[in-house]
């Protein structure tokens, strides 16, 4: 465990590269820094060779676990104090990663669920725009269920259309129509009763912005960026006991959180 105040960030990226670039760009923009040296030490392993998550989870392709484990270990060996991963669906392999490393792993799933719960008081229904593998694996449904929140998802035809849009984004197609169609899909979830829309795919924020959605929009990438800064700089000089860096591999917890952990 590192004794330094500011932690080095390790990023499992390349899932896909554009989403990783979006994450890092936002991380730079949101970090309070006036000089190069005041920015975070970030180590990015953009491993685009990780197998297709959708194919792997549908049994049509190889497991992603070996590549993700190798990527995570490389980041730890390079000096990362904790890891984040810029992909929601790949969190199916979260436990594989956790057991392979000796540093904390910050879950985009947990952070995004917590943000939704904080954004809307007494939240009952959340609309989840996520990749098919993510939804079929119940990554978000299981967490929201524990909080008594129902997950609303697209019907099969709309979900297939969503995946087509995601792959268009991955192929660098940012045509105006892609954003419009993504807004329409979000609206369908709102029409079902969603009180908040969760962009549970890191490609979505590349085309969907809050001004195009008639409900609060939580982008998982944005949540991960803010959480990364918080964990990398867990305290200010006058709040030295606010957060404790734990060896539970689950991340950083406030003293109050640890008391209930």
Q: What pLDDT is stored for residue 235 in this prediction?
A: 58
Query: Can you read off the two tokens belonging to residue 89?
Result: 């669906």
Torsion-angle region of residue 146: left (phi > 0), alpha (psi -120 to 50) or beta?
Answer: alpha
Cα(110)–Cα(114) distance, integer angstroms: 6
Give pLDDT, residue 240. Answer: 36
Sign of CA dihedral 163, 168, 174, 176: negative
Q: Which helix (H) or strand (E) holds 11?
A: strand 9-13
- Domain ranges across the chain: 9-107+222-259, 109-220
Spot the catalytic one: 64, 116, 134, 201: 201
Let me know if 116 is a catalytic residue.
no
Rounded (5°) CA angle 205-207-209: 65
Q: Exactly one of 87, 116, 134, 151 is catalytic; which is it? A: 87
Q: Is-same-fold flag (9-107+222-259; 109-220)?
A: yes
Active site residue 64: no
The low-confidence residues of the chain, meaning pLDDT below 50, are 1-3, 236-261
Q: What is the pLDDT of residue 137?
A: 97
Nearest to 105 by CA among 81, 87, 88, 122: 81
pLDDT recorded at residue 44: 98
Q: 3-class SS at 159?
A: helix
- Domain topology for 9-107+222-259: Rossmann fold (3.40.50)
Domain 109-220 in this protein, CATH class: alpha beta
Q: How far apart are CA 159 and CA 176, in angstroms?
A: 20
């Amino acid at each position: 465990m590192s004794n330094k105040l500011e932690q080095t960030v390790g990023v499992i990226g390349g899932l896909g590269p554009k989403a990783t670039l979006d994450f890092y760009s936002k991380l730079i923009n949101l970090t309070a820094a006036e000089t190069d040296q005041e920015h975070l030490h970030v180590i990015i392993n953009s491993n685009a060779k990780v197998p297709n998550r959708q194919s792997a989870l549908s049994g049509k392709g190889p497991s992603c676990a070996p590549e993700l484990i190798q990527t995570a270990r490389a980041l730890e060996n390079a000096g990362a104090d904790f890891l984040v991963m810029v992909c929601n669906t790949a969190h199916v392999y979260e436990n594989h990663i956790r057991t392979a490393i000796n540093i904390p792993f910050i879950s985009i799933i947990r952070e995004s669920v917590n943000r939704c719960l904080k954004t809307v008081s007494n939240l009952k229904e959340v609309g989840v725009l996520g990749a098919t593998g993510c939804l079929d694996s119940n990554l978000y449904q299981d967490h929201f269920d524990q909080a008594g929140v129902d997950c609303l998802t697209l019907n099969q035809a709309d979900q297939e259309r969503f995946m087509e849009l995601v792959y268009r984004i991955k192929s660098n197609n940012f045509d105006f129509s892609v954003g419009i169609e993504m807004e329409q899909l979000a609206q369908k979830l709102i029409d079902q009763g969603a009180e908040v829309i969760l962009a549970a795919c890191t490609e979505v924020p590349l085309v969907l912005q809050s001004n195009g959605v008639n409900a609060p929009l939580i982008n998982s990438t944005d949540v991960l960026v803010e959480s990364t800064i918080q964990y990398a700089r867990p305290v200010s000089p006058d709040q030295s006991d606010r957060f404790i860096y734990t060896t539970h591999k689950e991340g950083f917890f406030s003293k109050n959180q640890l008391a209930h952990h």
